[in-house]
Amino acid sequence: MPLTLSALTGNTDLRLQVKHWTRETDPMVTGAHVSELLRPSEWLAGGEILMTIGLLLPVTVTAEDCRSYVRDVKGGGAVALALGLGSDLPHQSVPRTLAEAAAAEDLPLFGVPEDVPFIAITSAVYKALVADERQSLDRLVDLHKALTFSAASGGGLEAIVATWTSATNIGAIVTDPLGLRIVTSDTVGAQPTDEMLRDLANVLAPKGLRSAMKTTIDDIPLEIQPLGTTRLRGFVVLVGNAGSRMPVAITALTSILALEFERRWLSSEPDRHQRARAFQRVLVAESESDAEALLRASGLTGEEFRCIAVDPGAGAAADLVADLSLTIRGGLIRHTNGGPVEAIVMADADIEQDLRRFAPNLAAGIGASTTPGTLAASQAQAVAALVTSRNLGHPVTYRRGFTQTWLTNATDLEMAQTFSDAVLAPLSNADPSGALLATVEAWLTANCQIDPAADRLHVHRHTVRSRLRKIEQLIGQPLDQLDTRVELWLALTAKGRTTQTTRTRHHSKKTKTQPRGGI
Protein backbone atom coordinates (compact mmCIF):
# COMPACT_ATOMS: atom_id res chain seq x y z
CA MET A 1 0.00 0.00 0.00
CA PRO A 2 1.19 3.59 -0.59
CA LEU A 3 2.83 5.26 2.42
CA THR A 4 0.52 7.81 3.98
CA LEU A 5 1.28 10.46 6.57
CA SER A 6 -0.80 8.63 9.19
CA ALA A 7 1.18 5.43 8.54
CA LEU A 8 4.45 7.33 9.00
CA THR A 9 3.37 8.96 12.27
CA GLY A 10 2.04 5.60 13.44
CA ASN A 11 5.56 4.17 13.31
CA THR A 12 6.36 3.84 17.03
CA ASP A 13 10.11 3.72 16.36
CA LEU A 14 10.03 7.32 15.12
CA ARG A 15 7.90 8.79 17.93
CA LEU A 16 7.06 11.87 15.91
CA GLN A 17 5.44 14.61 17.97
CA VAL A 18 2.39 16.07 16.27
CA LYS A 19 2.41 19.87 16.67
CA HIS A 20 -0.16 20.59 13.99
CA TRP A 21 -2.27 18.27 11.84
CA THR A 22 -6.02 18.45 11.42
CA ARG A 23 -6.09 14.89 9.97
CA GLU A 24 -8.84 15.99 7.59
CA THR A 25 -6.58 14.72 4.82
CA ASP A 26 -4.05 11.91 4.85
CA PRO A 27 -1.63 12.67 2.00
CA MET A 28 0.73 10.12 0.48
CA VAL A 29 4.42 10.50 1.29
CA THR A 30 6.64 10.02 -1.74
CA GLY A 31 10.03 10.95 -0.28
CA ALA A 32 12.08 12.47 2.52
CA HIS A 33 14.37 15.48 2.19
CA VAL A 34 16.66 17.44 4.52
CA SER A 35 17.27 21.15 3.98
CA GLU A 36 18.39 24.09 6.11
CA LEU A 37 17.53 26.67 3.46
CA LEU A 38 14.95 29.36 4.19
CA ARG A 39 13.66 28.86 0.63
CA PRO A 40 13.81 25.09 0.05
CA SER A 41 10.89 24.89 -2.42
CA GLU A 42 13.04 24.77 -5.55
CA TRP A 43 14.71 21.61 -4.21
CA LEU A 44 11.42 19.78 -3.69
CA ALA A 45 9.62 17.55 -6.18
CA GLY A 46 6.37 17.29 -4.22
CA GLY A 47 5.08 14.71 -1.75
CA GLU A 48 8.11 14.83 0.58
CA ILE A 49 8.35 15.21 4.34
CA LEU A 50 10.87 18.04 4.77
CA MET A 51 13.24 17.68 7.74
CA THR A 52 15.25 20.56 9.27
CA ILE A 53 16.94 21.46 12.54
CA GLY A 54 15.95 25.10 11.96
CA LEU A 55 19.53 26.27 11.73
CA LEU A 56 18.43 29.52 10.11
CA LEU A 57 15.31 29.83 12.24
CA PRO A 58 16.44 31.44 15.52
CA VAL A 59 14.37 31.02 18.66
CA THR A 60 13.21 34.60 18.38
CA VAL A 61 12.14 34.24 14.75
CA THR A 62 9.22 36.51 13.91
CA ALA A 63 5.76 35.28 13.03
CA GLU A 64 6.03 36.77 9.56
CA ASP A 65 9.36 35.02 8.93
CA CYS A 66 7.79 31.73 9.98
CA ARG A 67 4.75 32.29 7.77
CA SER A 68 7.02 33.06 4.80
CA TYR A 69 9.09 29.91 5.47
CA VAL A 70 6.09 27.62 5.89
CA ARG A 71 4.45 29.10 2.81
CA ASP A 72 7.55 28.29 0.74
CA VAL A 73 7.73 24.72 2.08
CA LYS A 74 4.08 24.08 1.27
CA GLY A 75 4.40 25.79 -2.11
CA GLY A 76 7.20 23.35 -2.99
CA GLY A 77 4.79 20.45 -2.53
CA ALA A 78 5.98 19.10 0.83
CA VAL A 79 3.24 17.22 2.70
CA ALA A 80 4.73 17.86 6.16
CA LEU A 81 7.51 19.68 8.03
CA ALA A 82 9.59 17.87 10.70
CA LEU A 83 11.76 19.94 13.09
CA GLY A 84 14.68 18.14 14.74
CA LEU A 85 14.87 18.84 18.50
CA GLY A 86 17.80 18.37 20.87
CA SER A 87 19.96 19.87 23.56
CA ASP A 88 22.80 20.50 21.12
CA LEU A 89 20.48 21.78 18.39
CA PRO A 90 19.09 25.27 17.78
CA HIS A 91 15.68 24.20 19.12
CA GLN A 92 14.79 22.09 22.15
CA SER A 93 11.08 22.47 21.41
CA VAL A 94 8.98 23.61 18.48
CA PRO A 95 8.78 27.44 18.48
CA ARG A 96 5.29 28.76 19.09
CA THR A 97 5.56 31.10 16.08
CA LEU A 98 6.41 28.15 13.81
CA ALA A 99 3.47 26.10 15.10
CA GLU A 100 1.13 29.05 14.57
CA ALA A 101 2.45 29.54 11.03
CA ALA A 102 1.94 25.83 10.25
CA ALA A 103 -1.62 26.06 11.56
CA ALA A 104 -2.30 29.19 9.54
CA GLU A 105 -1.03 27.54 6.34
CA ASP A 106 -2.49 24.14 7.31
CA LEU A 107 0.85 22.35 6.89
CA PRO A 108 1.36 19.29 9.16
CA LEU A 109 4.20 19.99 11.61
CA PHE A 110 6.06 17.41 13.72
CA GLY A 111 8.80 17.48 16.28
CA VAL A 112 11.54 14.87 16.00
CA PRO A 113 12.90 13.64 19.34
CA GLU A 114 16.57 14.10 20.07
CA ASP A 115 17.38 10.39 19.91
CA VAL A 116 15.71 9.88 16.52
CA PRO A 117 18.10 10.74 13.68
CA PHE A 118 16.78 12.04 10.41
CA ILE A 119 18.22 8.99 8.67
CA ALA A 120 15.75 6.85 10.62
CA ILE A 121 12.84 8.80 9.11
CA THR A 122 14.42 8.66 5.65
CA SER A 123 14.96 4.91 5.99
CA ALA A 124 11.38 4.34 7.14
CA VAL A 125 10.00 6.34 4.21
CA TYR A 126 12.02 4.57 1.55
CA LYS A 127 11.54 1.11 3.02
CA ALA A 128 7.80 1.71 2.83
CA LEU A 129 8.08 3.01 -0.73
CA VAL A 130 10.16 0.00 -1.79
CA ALA A 131 7.66 -2.36 -0.19
CA ASP A 132 4.79 -0.61 -1.95
CA GLU A 133 6.68 -0.77 -5.26
CA ARG A 134 7.28 -4.48 -4.78
CA GLN A 135 3.61 -5.05 -4.01
CA SER A 136 2.67 -3.12 -7.13
CA LEU A 137 5.06 -5.18 -9.23
CA ASP A 138 3.68 -8.36 -7.69
CA ARG A 139 0.18 -7.23 -8.59
CA LEU A 140 1.30 -6.43 -12.12
CA VAL A 141 2.91 -9.85 -12.46
CA ASP A 142 -0.25 -11.48 -11.13
CA LEU A 143 -2.35 -9.44 -13.57
CA HIS A 144 -0.10 -10.40 -16.46
CA LYS A 145 -0.33 -14.06 -15.48
CA ALA A 146 -4.12 -13.81 -15.22
CA LEU A 147 -4.40 -12.12 -18.62
CA THR A 148 -2.08 -14.69 -20.20
CA PHE A 149 -4.09 -17.53 -18.66
CA SER A 150 -7.31 -15.98 -19.96
CA ALA A 151 -5.85 -15.77 -23.45
CA ALA A 152 -4.55 -19.33 -23.31
CA SER A 153 -7.78 -20.75 -21.90
CA GLY A 154 -9.60 -20.27 -25.19
CA GLY A 155 -12.04 -17.72 -23.79
CA GLY A 156 -10.95 -15.18 -26.40
CA LEU A 157 -11.35 -11.44 -26.14
CA GLU A 158 -14.28 -11.78 -23.72
CA ALA A 159 -12.22 -13.65 -21.12
CA ILE A 160 -9.26 -11.26 -21.40
CA VAL A 161 -11.45 -8.18 -20.96
CA ALA A 162 -13.36 -9.74 -18.03
CA THR A 163 -10.07 -10.59 -16.27
CA TRP A 164 -8.78 -7.06 -16.79
CA THR A 165 -11.88 -5.37 -15.41
CA SER A 166 -12.08 -7.69 -12.42
CA ALA A 167 -8.44 -7.00 -11.47
CA THR A 168 -8.33 -3.25 -12.12
CA ASN A 169 -11.94 -2.04 -11.87
CA ILE A 170 -11.31 -0.18 -15.15
CA GLY A 171 -13.77 -0.81 -17.96
CA ALA A 172 -12.57 -1.91 -21.38
CA ILE A 173 -14.21 -1.90 -24.81
CA VAL A 174 -12.62 -3.70 -27.76
CA THR A 175 -13.60 -2.44 -31.21
CA ASP A 176 -12.68 -3.16 -34.81
CA PRO A 177 -10.83 -0.51 -36.86
CA LEU A 178 -14.17 1.15 -37.71
CA GLY A 179 -14.99 1.64 -34.03
CA LEU A 180 -17.70 -1.05 -33.96
CA ARG A 181 -17.89 -2.88 -30.63
CA ILE A 182 -16.61 -6.43 -30.44
CA VAL A 183 -16.48 -6.87 -26.64
CA THR A 184 -17.64 -4.60 -23.80
CA SER A 185 -16.73 -5.30 -20.16
CA ASP A 186 -19.08 -4.83 -17.23
CA THR A 187 -18.31 -1.32 -16.02
CA VAL A 188 -19.60 0.96 -13.32
CA GLY A 189 -20.78 4.37 -14.45
CA ALA A 190 -21.13 5.98 -17.83
CA GLN A 191 -19.75 4.47 -21.04
CA PRO A 192 -18.99 6.04 -24.41
CA THR A 193 -21.78 5.67 -26.95
CA ASP A 194 -21.45 3.79 -30.22
CA GLU A 195 -21.32 7.13 -32.03
CA MET A 196 -18.43 8.29 -29.82
CA LEU A 197 -16.50 5.11 -30.59
CA ARG A 198 -17.02 5.52 -34.34
CA ASP A 199 -15.92 9.16 -34.18
CA LEU A 200 -12.77 8.22 -32.27
CA ALA A 201 -11.98 5.50 -34.80
CA ASN A 202 -12.44 7.95 -37.69
CA VAL A 203 -9.82 10.22 -36.11
CA LEU A 204 -7.34 7.55 -35.02
CA ALA A 205 -7.48 4.86 -37.73
CA PRO A 206 -5.43 6.85 -40.30
CA LYS A 207 -2.58 6.97 -37.74
CA GLY A 208 -2.41 3.18 -37.57
CA LEU A 209 -0.40 1.76 -34.67
CA ARG A 210 0.61 5.28 -33.59
CA SER A 211 -2.93 6.26 -32.69
CA ALA A 212 -2.90 6.08 -28.87
CA MET A 213 -4.56 8.98 -27.05
CA LYS A 214 -6.17 10.08 -23.79
CA THR A 215 -9.28 12.23 -23.75
CA THR A 216 -12.41 13.05 -21.79
CA ILE A 217 -15.81 13.00 -23.50
CA ASP A 218 -18.94 14.00 -21.59
CA ASP A 219 -16.94 13.78 -18.33
CA ILE A 220 -15.94 10.19 -19.18
CA PRO A 221 -12.14 9.72 -18.99
CA LEU A 222 -10.97 7.51 -21.86
CA GLU A 223 -7.66 6.05 -22.95
CA ILE A 224 -7.55 4.54 -26.44
CA GLN A 225 -4.81 2.12 -27.47
CA PRO A 226 -4.35 0.60 -30.96
CA LEU A 227 -4.27 -3.17 -31.31
CA GLY A 228 -2.10 -5.04 -33.79
CA THR A 229 1.44 -6.29 -34.33
CA THR A 230 2.26 -4.98 -37.80
CA ARG A 231 -1.13 -3.59 -38.92
CA LEU A 232 -4.01 -1.92 -37.10
CA ARG A 233 -6.55 -4.62 -36.20
CA GLY A 234 -8.72 -2.65 -33.77
CA PHE A 235 -8.76 -0.56 -30.59
CA VAL A 236 -9.15 -1.06 -26.86
CA VAL A 237 -10.90 1.83 -25.10
CA LEU A 238 -10.26 2.01 -21.34
CA VAL A 239 -13.03 3.70 -19.36
CA GLY A 240 -11.99 5.29 -16.07
CA ASN A 241 -8.98 6.90 -14.41
CA ALA A 242 -5.84 4.76 -14.57
CA GLY A 243 -3.35 5.09 -11.71
CA SER A 244 0.24 6.21 -12.07
CA ARG A 245 1.47 2.61 -12.24
CA MET A 246 -1.05 1.51 -14.88
CA PRO A 247 1.02 2.09 -18.05
CA VAL A 248 2.86 -1.23 -17.57
CA ALA A 249 -0.45 -3.03 -17.00
CA ILE A 250 -2.02 -1.34 -20.03
CA THR A 251 0.95 -2.39 -22.16
CA ALA A 252 0.42 -5.98 -21.02
CA LEU A 253 -3.29 -5.78 -21.85
CA THR A 254 -2.77 -4.32 -25.33
CA SER A 255 -0.03 -6.84 -26.14
CA ILE A 256 -2.22 -9.81 -25.18
CA LEU A 257 -5.24 -8.39 -27.01
CA ALA A 258 -3.10 -7.81 -30.11
CA LEU A 259 -1.87 -11.40 -30.00
CA GLU A 260 -5.45 -12.60 -29.62
CA PHE A 261 -6.41 -10.63 -32.73
CA GLU A 262 -3.55 -12.28 -34.62
CA ARG A 263 -4.57 -15.71 -33.32
CA ARG A 264 -8.13 -15.13 -34.48
CA TRP A 265 -6.83 -14.07 -37.88
CA LEU A 266 -4.62 -17.14 -38.28
CA SER A 267 -7.29 -19.53 -37.03
CA SER A 268 -9.74 -18.19 -39.60
CA GLU A 269 -7.41 -18.90 -42.53
CA PRO A 270 -9.25 -22.07 -43.63
CA ASP A 271 -12.51 -20.12 -43.69
CA ARG A 272 -10.88 -17.40 -45.81
CA HIS A 273 -9.68 -19.98 -48.33
CA GLN A 274 -13.18 -21.43 -48.48
CA ARG A 275 -14.71 -17.98 -49.02
CA ALA A 276 -12.15 -17.25 -51.76
CA ARG A 277 -13.26 -20.40 -53.56
CA ALA A 278 -16.90 -19.34 -53.09
CA PHE A 279 -16.01 -16.04 -54.80
CA GLN A 280 -15.06 -17.87 -57.98
CA ARG A 281 -18.06 -20.20 -57.82
CA VAL A 282 -20.41 -17.21 -57.67
CA LEU A 283 -18.86 -15.70 -60.80
CA VAL A 284 -19.32 -18.89 -62.83
CA ALA A 285 -22.71 -19.90 -61.42
CA GLU A 286 -25.00 -21.21 -64.14
CA SER A 287 -28.13 -19.41 -62.96
CA GLU A 288 -29.34 -16.52 -60.85
CA SER A 289 -30.70 -18.89 -58.21
CA ASP A 290 -27.40 -20.79 -57.96
CA ALA A 291 -25.42 -17.57 -57.47
CA GLU A 292 -27.92 -16.31 -54.91
CA ALA A 293 -27.72 -19.59 -52.97
CA LEU A 294 -23.92 -19.43 -52.88
CA LEU A 295 -23.97 -15.87 -51.55
CA ARG A 296 -26.59 -16.72 -48.95
CA ALA A 297 -24.52 -19.69 -47.77
CA SER A 298 -21.59 -17.30 -47.32
CA GLY A 299 -23.67 -14.95 -45.16
CA LEU A 300 -24.44 -12.39 -47.86
CA THR A 301 -28.12 -11.59 -48.21
CA GLY A 302 -29.72 -8.95 -50.35
CA GLU A 303 -30.84 -8.26 -53.87
CA GLU A 304 -27.80 -6.54 -55.35
CA PHE A 305 -24.04 -6.73 -54.89
CA ARG A 306 -20.91 -5.30 -56.42
CA CYS A 307 -17.29 -6.29 -56.92
CA ILE A 308 -14.17 -4.32 -56.06
CA ALA A 309 -10.56 -4.73 -57.18
CA VAL A 310 -7.62 -3.15 -55.32
CA ASP A 311 -3.91 -3.06 -56.11
CA PRO A 312 -2.30 -4.46 -52.95
CA GLY A 313 1.04 -2.76 -53.36
CA ALA A 314 4.44 -4.45 -53.18
CA GLY A 315 4.25 -7.50 -50.93
CA ALA A 316 1.26 -6.21 -48.98
CA ALA A 317 -1.54 -8.42 -50.32
CA ALA A 318 -1.91 -10.44 -47.11
CA ASP A 319 -2.17 -7.28 -44.99
CA LEU A 320 -4.71 -5.75 -47.37
CA VAL A 321 -6.81 -8.93 -47.27
CA ALA A 322 -6.65 -8.78 -43.47
CA ASP A 323 -7.79 -5.17 -43.39
CA LEU A 324 -10.65 -5.74 -45.81
CA SER A 325 -11.71 -8.88 -43.91
CA LEU A 326 -12.08 -6.78 -40.76
CA THR A 327 -13.88 -3.87 -42.38
CA ILE A 328 -16.02 -5.55 -45.05
CA ARG A 329 -18.24 -7.64 -42.84
CA GLY A 330 -19.37 -10.82 -44.55
CA GLY A 331 -17.72 -9.98 -47.87
CA LEU A 332 -16.13 -12.60 -50.07
CA ILE A 333 -12.46 -11.80 -50.66
CA ARG A 334 -9.83 -13.42 -52.82
CA HIS A 335 -6.31 -12.72 -54.03
CA THR A 336 -4.45 -14.38 -56.87
CA ASN A 337 -0.67 -14.07 -56.93
CA GLY A 338 0.29 -11.14 -59.13
CA GLY A 339 -3.29 -9.89 -59.38
CA PRO A 340 -5.46 -7.45 -57.43
CA VAL A 341 -7.27 -8.17 -54.19
CA GLU A 342 -10.92 -8.65 -55.13
CA ALA A 343 -14.10 -8.71 -53.05
CA ILE A 344 -17.86 -9.14 -53.43
CA VAL A 345 -19.74 -6.76 -51.12
CA MET A 346 -23.29 -5.66 -50.48
CA ALA A 347 -24.40 -2.97 -52.89
CA ASP A 348 -25.24 -0.54 -50.07
CA ALA A 349 -21.84 -0.89 -48.34
CA ASP A 350 -19.89 2.39 -48.12
CA ILE A 351 -16.91 0.74 -49.72
CA GLU A 352 -15.39 4.00 -50.96
CA GLN A 353 -15.04 5.26 -47.38
CA ASP A 354 -13.48 1.98 -46.26
CA LEU A 355 -10.98 2.13 -49.12
CA ARG A 356 -10.02 5.71 -48.30
CA ARG A 357 -9.39 4.72 -44.70
CA PHE A 358 -7.72 1.33 -45.03
CA ALA A 359 -6.28 1.38 -48.54
CA PRO A 360 -5.11 4.99 -48.92
CA ASN A 361 -3.09 5.82 -52.03
CA LEU A 362 -3.91 2.43 -53.55
CA ALA A 363 -5.54 2.11 -56.95
CA ALA A 364 -9.04 0.63 -56.65
CA GLY A 365 -11.89 -0.12 -59.03
CA ILE A 366 -15.51 -0.60 -57.98
CA GLY A 367 -17.96 -2.42 -60.24
CA ALA A 368 -21.59 -1.45 -60.72
CA SER A 369 -24.34 -2.89 -58.52
CA THR A 370 -25.94 -5.97 -60.01
CA THR A 371 -27.87 -9.11 -59.16
CA PRO A 372 -26.05 -12.28 -58.02
CA GLY A 373 -26.28 -13.95 -61.41
CA THR A 374 -24.39 -11.19 -63.23
CA LEU A 375 -21.59 -10.50 -60.74
CA ALA A 376 -19.07 -11.58 -63.37
CA ALA A 377 -19.91 -8.36 -65.22
CA SER A 378 -19.38 -6.28 -62.05
CA GLN A 379 -16.05 -8.04 -61.47
CA ALA A 380 -14.89 -7.23 -65.00
CA GLN A 381 -16.03 -3.62 -64.53
CA ALA A 382 -14.07 -3.37 -61.26
CA VAL A 383 -10.90 -4.54 -63.01
CA ALA A 384 -11.51 -2.03 -65.82
CA ALA A 385 -12.07 0.79 -63.33
CA LEU A 386 -8.88 -0.30 -61.53
CA VAL A 387 -6.85 0.50 -64.66
CA THR A 388 -8.36 3.98 -64.78
CA SER A 389 -7.74 4.39 -61.06
CA ARG A 390 -4.04 3.77 -61.57
CA ASN A 391 -3.93 6.72 -63.98
CA LEU A 392 -6.19 9.06 -62.00
CA GLY A 393 -4.73 8.37 -58.55
CA HIS A 394 -7.98 7.68 -56.68
CA PRO A 395 -10.64 4.93 -56.48
CA VAL A 396 -12.92 4.81 -59.52
CA THR A 397 -16.48 3.51 -59.50
CA TYR A 398 -17.94 1.99 -62.66
CA ARG A 399 -21.34 3.61 -63.31
CA ARG A 400 -23.60 4.25 -66.26
CA GLY A 401 -21.87 6.78 -68.44
CA PHE A 402 -18.50 5.42 -67.35
CA THR A 403 -17.73 4.44 -70.94
CA GLN A 404 -17.30 7.99 -72.18
CA THR A 405 -15.16 8.96 -69.19
CA TRP A 406 -13.12 5.82 -69.51
CA LEU A 407 -12.45 6.31 -73.23
CA THR A 408 -11.56 9.96 -72.63
CA ASN A 409 -8.80 8.84 -70.28
CA ALA A 410 -7.92 5.67 -72.18
CA THR A 411 -5.48 7.11 -74.66
CA ASP A 412 -3.21 4.09 -74.93
CA LEU A 413 -3.71 0.62 -76.29
CA GLU A 414 -3.57 -1.12 -72.93
CA MET A 415 -6.51 0.86 -71.60
CA ALA A 416 -8.53 0.27 -74.78
CA GLN A 417 -7.93 -3.46 -74.50
CA THR A 418 -8.82 -3.48 -70.80
CA PHE A 419 -12.08 -1.67 -71.50
CA SER A 420 -12.97 -4.14 -74.23
CA ASP A 421 -12.19 -7.09 -71.96
CA ALA A 422 -14.25 -5.63 -69.11
CA VAL A 423 -17.40 -5.31 -71.20
CA LEU A 424 -17.02 -8.46 -73.28
CA ALA A 425 -15.44 -10.79 -70.70
CA PRO A 426 -18.80 -12.29 -69.57
CA LEU A 427 -19.47 -13.29 -73.20
CA SER A 428 -15.94 -14.52 -73.94
CA ASN A 429 -15.78 -16.55 -70.73
CA ALA A 430 -19.19 -18.14 -71.28
CA ASP A 431 -18.53 -18.94 -74.94
CA PRO A 432 -14.86 -19.38 -75.87
CA SER A 433 -15.91 -20.26 -79.43
CA GLY A 434 -16.84 -16.62 -80.02
CA ALA A 435 -20.38 -17.28 -81.25
CA LEU A 436 -21.92 -14.86 -78.75
CA LEU A 437 -19.50 -12.08 -79.67
CA ALA A 438 -20.09 -12.69 -83.37
CA THR A 439 -23.86 -12.63 -82.82
CA VAL A 440 -23.95 -9.35 -80.91
CA GLU A 441 -21.61 -7.74 -83.45
CA ALA A 442 -23.74 -8.92 -86.37
CA TRP A 443 -26.93 -7.82 -84.62
CA LEU A 444 -25.56 -4.33 -83.88
CA THR A 445 -24.20 -4.02 -87.42
CA ALA A 446 -27.64 -4.97 -88.77
CA ASN A 447 -29.18 -2.06 -86.82
CA CYS A 448 -30.44 -4.47 -84.17
CA GLN A 449 -32.55 -6.46 -86.63
CA ILE A 450 -32.89 -10.22 -86.14
CA ASP A 451 -33.31 -11.45 -89.73
CA PRO A 452 -30.37 -9.50 -91.26
CA ALA A 453 -28.17 -10.64 -88.39
CA ALA A 454 -29.20 -14.26 -88.97
CA ASP A 455 -28.36 -13.90 -92.66
CA ARG A 456 -24.92 -12.51 -91.83
CA LEU A 457 -24.24 -15.40 -89.45
CA HIS A 458 -25.87 -18.04 -91.68
CA VAL A 459 -27.99 -19.30 -88.79
CA HIS A 460 -31.71 -19.43 -88.06
CA ARG A 461 -33.35 -16.32 -86.60
CA HIS A 462 -34.44 -18.33 -83.52
CA THR A 463 -30.78 -19.05 -82.85
CA VAL A 464 -30.03 -15.33 -82.90
CA ARG A 465 -32.91 -14.65 -80.49
CA SER A 466 -31.71 -17.39 -78.12
CA ARG A 467 -28.16 -16.04 -78.16
CA LEU A 468 -29.34 -12.48 -77.48
CA ARG A 469 -31.33 -13.65 -74.45
CA LYS A 470 -28.20 -15.42 -73.20
CA ILE A 471 -26.17 -12.24 -73.73
CA GLU A 472 -28.66 -10.21 -71.67
CA GLN A 473 -28.37 -12.70 -68.83
CA LEU A 474 -24.58 -12.63 -68.88
CA ILE A 475 -24.12 -8.86 -68.96
CA GLY A 476 -27.02 -8.14 -66.63
CA GLN A 477 -28.44 -5.38 -68.84
CA PRO A 478 -31.34 -5.32 -71.31
CA LEU A 479 -30.30 -5.05 -74.96
CA ASP A 480 -33.20 -2.76 -75.80
CA GLN A 481 -31.53 0.13 -73.96
CA LEU A 482 -29.40 2.51 -75.99
CA ASP A 483 -26.65 2.71 -73.32
CA THR A 484 -26.18 -1.04 -73.45
CA ARG A 485 -25.95 -1.10 -77.23
CA VAL A 486 -23.49 1.82 -77.34
CA GLU A 487 -21.27 0.24 -74.70
CA LEU A 488 -21.18 -3.09 -76.52
CA TRP A 489 -20.45 -1.40 -79.83
CA LEU A 490 -17.60 0.66 -78.36
CA ALA A 491 -16.17 -2.44 -76.71
CA LEU A 492 -16.29 -4.36 -79.98
CA THR A 493 -14.67 -1.44 -81.77
CA ALA A 494 -11.91 -1.28 -79.13
CA LYS A 495 -11.43 -5.03 -79.46
CA GLY A 496 -11.05 -4.66 -83.20
CA ARG A 497 -8.53 -1.88 -82.70
CA THR A 498 -6.37 -3.91 -80.35
CA THR A 499 -6.57 -6.98 -82.58
CA GLN A 500 -5.51 -4.99 -85.60
CA THR A 501 -2.66 -3.33 -83.71
CA THR A 502 -1.41 -6.70 -82.53
CA ARG A 503 -1.44 -8.06 -86.08
CA THR A 504 0.38 -4.98 -87.38
CA ARG A 505 3.09 -5.27 -84.75
CA HIS A 506 3.49 -8.97 -85.47
CA HIS A 507 3.77 -8.30 -89.23
CA SER A 508 6.30 -5.50 -88.67
CA LYS A 509 8.39 -7.76 -86.49
CA LYS A 510 8.41 -10.48 -89.14
CA THR A 511 9.33 -7.96 -91.84
CA LYS A 512 12.26 -6.61 -89.83
CA THR A 513 13.65 -10.09 -89.33
CA GLN A 514 13.55 -10.96 -93.07
CA PRO A 515 17.05 -11.02 -94.60
CA ARG A 516 17.73 -8.08 -96.86
CA GLY A 517 18.84 -8.32 -100.47
CA GLY A 518 18.33 -11.24 -102.82
CA ILE A 519 19.20 -12.50 -106.25
pLDDT tens-digit series, residues 189-218: 678 899 999 899 888 988 888 889 989 888
Span 272-324, pLDDT tens digits: 788 888 999 999 998 999 999 999 888 888 889 999 999 887 767 777 787 77
Which CATH architecture describes the domain 5-128? 3-Layer(aba) Sandwich (3.40)
Q: Three-class SS of residue 460?
A: coil
Question: What is the spatial distance between Cα 415 and Cα 198, in angstroms, rounded to a whole number?
Answer: 39
**pLDDT for 228:** 87
Query: What b/e readout covers 373-395, taking b as 16+ CB neighbours within 10 angstroms?
Result: bbbbbbbbbbbbbbbbbeeeeeb
| Contact yes or no for 86/114 (Cβ under 8 A) | yes
Q: How confident is the model at residue 139 (pLDDT cuts 50, 70, 90)?
A: confident
**pLDDT for 495:** 76
| Contact yes or no for 264/271 (Cβ under 8 A) | no
**pLDDT for 414:** 72
| Contact yes or no for 276/315 (Cβ under 8 A) | no
Question: What is the spatial distance between Cα 475 and Cα 486, in angstroms, rounded to a whole number?
Answer: 14
**Does residue 511 carry a pLDDT above 60?**
no
**pLDDT for 329:** 64
pLDDT higher at 24 or 391: 24
**pLDDT for 119:** 96
Residue extent(s) of CATH 3.40.1390.20 domains in the chain: 5-128
- Phi then psi for residue 147, to 5 deg, are -65, -40
Q: Which positions ≥6 away from 233 have C-beta within 8 Å? A: 176, 177, 227, 258, 261, 262, 265, 322, 326
What is the number of other CB atoms lying within 10 angstroms of the CB of residue 233?
Answer: 22
Query: Residue 345's beta-bridge partner residues?
Result: 306
Residue extent(s) of CATH 3.30.450.30 domains in the chain: 153-267
| Contact yes or no for 198/180 (Cβ under 8 A) | yes
Q: Which positions ≥6 away from 301 have C-beta within 8 Å? A: 295
**pLDDT for 517:** 33
- Does 153-267 carry CATH code 3.30.450.30? yes
